[in-house]
Structure 1
Amino acid sequence: MKAQYDVSFSHYFDMEPSFNPAAVGKYDKLNINAAYAMDMAGFEHNPQTMYAAADIPFYFMSSYNGAGVQFMNDKIGLFTHKKLALQYAYKHKFFKGLISVAAQVGVISEDFDGTKVDLNESSDPAFSTTQLNGNGIDLVLGMYYVRGQWYAGVSAQHINSPLIKLGGSNELQIDPTYYLTGGYNIKFNNPFVTIKPSCIVRTDGTAYRADITSRLVYSYENKMMYAGLSYSPTNSVTFLIGGTFHGLVLGYSYEVYTSAINPGNGSHELFVGYQMDINMAKKGKNKHKNVRIL
């Protein structure tokens, strides 16, 4: 049996380091985000994914850099996929923009709960009835370019094709997956309103998925609200809504599948983001002075 391995997040535009390490350090702040996705709600053993990550820019050896860390726990059926990864990006000015080249090294852990296997033939040797686990090294490469109001990126996940051994007679092969993403900010005469179209395409060379998203964003001072719509050809339509709340960015999406699946059995996703003003992109940026005389 074969299926896609990587999770598809509706808030991919705010979670770019999840699929492209070259996006770390994109902002001049400490960037923290987390997401929880529950796909195919109402089905037994439906996919449930938790994701958390942080990244930050820094200036070192006369160059701009970015670093990040991420953790993901993805549970589907009797399988649990876990990943812990470190990311590094080197940035350089290029044609009035900024290009970033990055690498990611992670550890993938796979678990299979064979104690819950329900078989008509309990002695079938093709299925294990015990707990199985294994792990392997996962490598990722990426490039990212930002210029003015637009950006684009390419990345390759699992470039070393990890082969995870599960017990003595089972294995899980993870094929490389390639990503292409881009976006643009459309400004209006009204300085408070912006349209942010974006897209992402991913493929393993056999099948592909594309998501085309457009969000209408209203921002004033430190407040922001948005609503959007995303379309994935032959897959689904997703509704998005979000905004700031006490310094946090909160987002929610509901994905309705365009196949025969009931609209009530769609996918829920919750996104939480936070940015802290700790700018390490240039020397001297973090200096503080206290004018109080004691």
Structure 2
Amino acid sequence: MKNIRIVIWILAAVAPFTVRAQQNIQFTQYIFNSLSVNPAYAGYKEDWFGQLGMRSQWVGLDGAPQTGLLSVDGLLDRATYKRHGLGVQVNADQLGPQSATSLYLNYAFRLRLNDEDTQRLSFGIGAGVTQYGLNGTLLDPVNTGDPIVPPNRINNFVPDIRFGIYYYNPVWYAGVSVMDLLSGDQSNNIFRWDNTTTDNIRRKRHIYFIGGALINLSEGTRLRPSLMLKEDFKGPTSLDLNAMFVFGDRFWIGGGWRTGVTVFKKDYERLTGNTLNKRNAIAAITQLYVTPSLRIGYSYDYILSQLSSVQNGSHEVTLGITFGHREQRLLSPRFF
């Protein structure tokens, strides 16, 4: 098939086991908008905030992932109790002939924990739908009329829900979420054609843990370390470690390291005795507040796996904008 090279290199980079589902979308700059991994984050900035993200992964490799994200979130009751956060999120993911486009509505109930209102505990829920697609015209089977290959593009819609908890104070934050609860249900097949079914492009259920802190180094200089742990109970547990220096509350620069970690023994290890190559990528990240309401971010991932010899890294660009009148905005920026 035309896109067989990417399949071969992915398998070579991880291990000789069968890939059974599409991984969740991946953003290096999740640290600037955690709504992408936790619905309880909706309304955290206490202003209406929009974000656009574009990621081109493994540049130079045919059929490599292309991902886009558009989100808007804020408070429904900003002038009073600031309890109700709302967020809308659209994701689009393309990997060779397969695609997944999602629309989610997220709601967060935010509990005030102290009189100064510097601590909040949020409970979030998200509901949406994902359109999974497979374009058979991009596949070129050895034998024409192969019943495994659809004759043209096929699509199906799968509803989905997600849950999350998010806590923050001026010094640190932490959150946990469960994503793709219905998309991960393997009891229903996504596609049917010519008495054939396939379910390989459905996302799996994931559990995310995010956490971070803000450390004052000197006047005008801060350090913001963070981490994200992602678990799908099939492959290695994914760990992102990041650290950003913040200068004058406007310019951020730092880096990150993405790798696999062993939390418990998985089925592929018990069945095959193999352990996957856990090396993944290192990243350079920067963002700049061009104005108090406009933020631009860029990151570059350098791949550490066997894919490094056949691609030119991954590029990611984000654009964030705060809506509302200047006098209504927060006097201090939101670092989380």
Q: Is the 8 A contact 1:22 1:100 kept in 2?
A: yes
Alignment length (residue pairs): 277
Following superposition, the deviation at residue 21 of structure 1 comes to 0.3
Counterpart position of 1:270: 317
Counterpart position of 2:266: none
Letter paired with 2:296: L
Q: Flag as ranges the 4+ runs of structure 1 deviating above 3 A.
A: 60-63
More strand per residue: 1
Counterpart position of 2:95: 76
Counterpart position of 1:291: none
1:178 lines up with 2:225 in the alignment: no
The CA deviation string for residues 209-239 of structure 1, in whole angstroms up to 9 with x for no partner, is: 110000011126xxx1111110112211001
Which of 56, 67, 80 is the matching residue for 1:49? Answer: 67
1:141 counterpart SS class: strand
Counterpart position of 2:58: 40
Distance 2:181 2:319 in 1: 29
The farther-off stretch of 252-261 and 57-66 is 57-66
Which of 277, 282, 286 is the matching residue for 1:237? Answer: 282
Q: Is the 8 A contact 1:139 1:157 kept in 2?
A: yes
1:235 counterpart SS class: strand
Counterpart position of 2:295: 249
Q: Is the 8 A contact 1:132 1:167 kept in 2?
A: no
Which of 100, 104, 108 is the matching residue for 1:85? Answer: 104
Counterpart position of 2:227: 199
Unaligned runs of 5+ in 2: 1-18, 260-278, 330-336
The farther-off stretch of 59-68 and 267-276 is 59-68
The CA deviation string for residues 58-95 of structure 1, in whole angstroms up to 9 with x for no partner, is: 33996711000010111110011100110100011237
TM-score (norm 1): 0.88
The CA deviation string for residues 11-45 of structure 1, in whole angstroms up to 9 with x for no partner, is: 01112001100001001211111100000100111
Q: Is the 8 A contact 1:84 1:108 kept in 2?
A: yes
1:67 lines up with 2:86 in the alignment: yes
Percent identity, please: 24
Letter paired with 1:204: D
More helix per residue: 2
The farther-off stretch of 75-84 and 173-182 is 173-182
1:133 lines up with 2:155 in the alignment: yes
Counterpart position of 1:289: none
Counterpart position of 1:292: none
2:163 counterpart SS class: strand
Following superposition, the deviation at residue 248 of structure 1 comes to 1.8
Letter paired with 2:307: I
1:83 counterpart SS class: strand
Distance 2:95 2:22 in 1: 12
Counterpart position of 2:274: none
Over 3 Å counting, the alpha-carbon distance change for 1:62 and 1:25 in structure 2 is: closer
The CA deviation string for residues 132-184 of structure 1, in whole angstroms up to 9 with x for no partner, is: 11001010000000122110000000112354522333343432100000010
CA RMSD of aligned residues (A): 2.1
Distance 2:315 2:238 in 1: 18
